Structure 1
Amino acid sequence: MPLSPSSVLQLHSDIRQTRVSDEGIILRQEDGEILVVNDIAIRFVELIDGNRNLDELTDMLLQEYEVDRNTLADDLAEYASELISRGVLNITAP
């Protein structure tokens, strides 16, 4: 299923995440893979609840960070695609 602004995202069931100072750590328990990510990336992951679509997540982050909407939307789509390919995220609805 291709990623679009209306795609609803959900964390894979084996994912654990935490914030450490101004960075985040994402752990894939199934294979022991650890990702260290920046502040915006971990905040994006924290907001993923299986109910919000990518466009809604973008709007939420725009309220917290001063950044151009198109730039943020493009960056989040690219990051979400990477997390999907790594098995961190699933698309649950179009």
Structure 2
Amino acid sequence: MSVTPSTVLQLSSDVRQTRVGDEGVILRQDDGEILVVNEVAIRFVELIDGDRGMDELTDLLLQEYEVERDILVSDLAEYACELLNQGILTKAGA
């Protein structure tokens, strides 16, 4: 599954997320699967609201973290695809 700058994502209905210190925890309730992720990864998930496209999410994260845009775009696209494949995220309107 691929994402483009205009792809709008949302959390799957069985997914919950929270911060624990500098890390995040993502829980898939239906499967009982728990993922522990770093600060940037949980911030990305926190910003996903079913309305913002990947380009807007990238812009928001660029305001918070010092990273080159090209690197962030690539890393977010790869991470979003992983989360889509795991069923943690879905494409909005799909």
TM superposition score normalised by structure 1: 0.96
SS in 2 for 1:36: strand
- Is 1:32 matched with 2:32? yes
Q: How many angstroms does 1:93 deviate by?
A: 5.2
Instruction: State the superposition RMSD in angstroms.
Output: 1.4
| 8 A contact 1:8–1:50 mirrored in 2 | yes
- Is 1:21 matched with 2:30? no
Q: Percent identity?
A: 68
Q: Which amino acid aligns with 2:85?
A: S
- Is 1:7 matched with 2:3? no
Q: Which amino acid aligns with 2:50?
A: G
Instruction: State the 4+ residue runs in structure 1 displaced beyond 4 angstroms.
Output: none
Which structure has the highest strand share of the two? 1
In structure 2, the residue matched to 1:89 is 89
Q: Which runs of 5+ in 2 are unaligned?
A: none
| 8 A contact 1:80–1:89 mirrored in 2 | yes
Deviates more, 1:84-93 or 1:46-55: 84-93
- Is 1:45 matched with 2:45? yes
Q: Which runs of 5+ in 1 are unaligned?
A: none
